[in-house]
Structures are given as structure tokens and as C-alpha cells.
A and B are shown apart, each in its own frame.
Chain A
Amino acid sequence: EDKVVQSPLSLVVHEGDTVTLNCSYEVTNFRSLLWYKQEKKAPTFLFMLTSSGIEKKSGRLSSILDKKELFSILNITATQTGDSAVYLCAVDRGSTLGRLYFGRGTQLTVWP
């Protein structure tokens, strides 16, 4: 059975802290891994990762994929209250193209 497990489920930090969110997966026919941020509305795209070891960066956020150990991490440096959200990881996998499996998300709360 395919699995996408995110950890921690919930995290509370103070502004300025650095956080690392984890997404591990056990799936058949892995094709890509995507990160999304969800505030009180629809998810918004952060990163798409297909190759191991290549870091993707956008401002204070960065992400990397390890296809050997089957996980990805999302780093957020110098956190701000606006980073408070649920961070979702999704994996495209399976014998049919386009079938996405989401993890349950990590709830990040940043206190001022």
C-alpha cells in the first residue's frame, strides 16, 4: 500500500526560528514530489521535485529530495507569522500517470 507520511504533524515556533518539515514516502513508480502551502483556503504550490540532491529555493524556503532514502525536506529559515499554515506533500505515483497521493500535512504555527 502506498504511503506518504509527513512529520511532525504540528509544530509551534517563534518568529526567526528555522524549521524543517519532513515527507517520507513508500510508493510504486515514483515520478515526482510536490510541496504545497495551505492557509485558510486552497493550497498554493511551492516546489516540484523530480531529481535527487537538487535543492530548489524560493526566498526563505528550500526543498530537496532523496530518492534513495525516499524522503524530502522543506526548510523555512527566519520564519515569519505569515508562514503559519498547513504544509502538504504530494507524490505522483502508480501504474497510471497523474495519480497523486497527499500526506496529511504539517500544521506550522509561528508566534510573534
Chain B
Amino acid sequence: EAQVTQNPRYLITVTGKKLTVTCSQNMNHEYMSWYRQDPGLGLRQIYYSMNVEVTDKGDVPEGYKVSRKEKRNFPLILESPSPNQTSLYFCASSSLLGRQTPNEQFFGPGTRLTVL
């Protein structure tokens, strides 16, 4: 089954304790992206990757890191989480239309993160 998986689905942690949210897709997609969703603010892009070893900042990259060492995986790292990073996080992947623009994105189930 074609899917994007994220782990963990729920996480409660404390300020400053490094954490990683994993994202994996089995569709051989070039493009992967991380979003956070907050009430009233919609989906905001954190980081994205057009292919292996190619990553770029989205609109809200501060406090986050990513890596794309393999095509299928795109982990999101919070080196020192803070309460303002409490949010619902989505990972997504897609093929590229004409190698230029993300096609239909498939979203993972979401990770609800609470930082105390």
C-alpha cells in the first residue's frame, strides 16, 4: 500500500530535550516536505526536499533541522524544543511535475507534539 508513515504519532516532551520525528514514504517520490499546523494559521511549510541531499527552508524553519540521506526518509529534528513548537506536524511526499513543481502530495497521519 502506497503510504507516508510518521513516528511517533503523539509525543509529550520537555523543553530542551532533543527529539526526532521520522517520516518515510514507499512511493519513490523525489519531493518531501514538513509542515506544522496551528489553529487559525493553516499549514506552514518548515523544510522541504526536492531530492536526496537537497533540502531548503520553508516559511518557518527556525528551531528545526532536516536531512535527506535516502530517498524514502526525511526526518525532522528538534535540537532544543520549546513550548512554541507545540503543534500538529505533517510530513508529505510527491512526485515532481516536469521536475519542477510538486505534484499531488500524499500526507502522513500527523504527529501531535506537546512541549512542556
Contacts and interface: CB of A to CB of B under 8 A. Distances in A.
Contacts of B97: 32, 48, 50
Interface stretch (B16-24, B71-79, B107-115): B107-115
B101 A42 contact: no
Q: By DSSP majority rule, is chain B's interface helix, strand, loop, or mixed?
A: strand
B31 A98 contact: yes
Contacts of B101: 31-32, 50, 92, 97-98
A28 interface: no
A98 B110 contact: no
Interface string B35-59: 1000011111100101000001011
Given A32-B101, A34-B105, A50-B101, A101 B59 contact: yes
Interface residues of A, number: 24
B28 interface: no
Nearest to B45: A100
Contacts of A101: 45, 59
Interface in A79-112: 88, 90, 92, 96-105
Interface centre among A34, A43, A96 (most CB of B within 10 A): A43
Interface in A17-49: 31-32, 34, 36, 41-45, 48
B109 A98 contact: no
B42 A48 contact: no
A29 B35 CA distance: 21
18 contacts: A34-B105, A41-B109, A42-B108, A43-B90, A43-B107, A45-B105, A48-B97, A48-B104, A50-B101, A92-B101, A97-B101, A99-B56, A100-B45, A101-B45, A101-B59, A102-B45, A103-B42, A104-B41
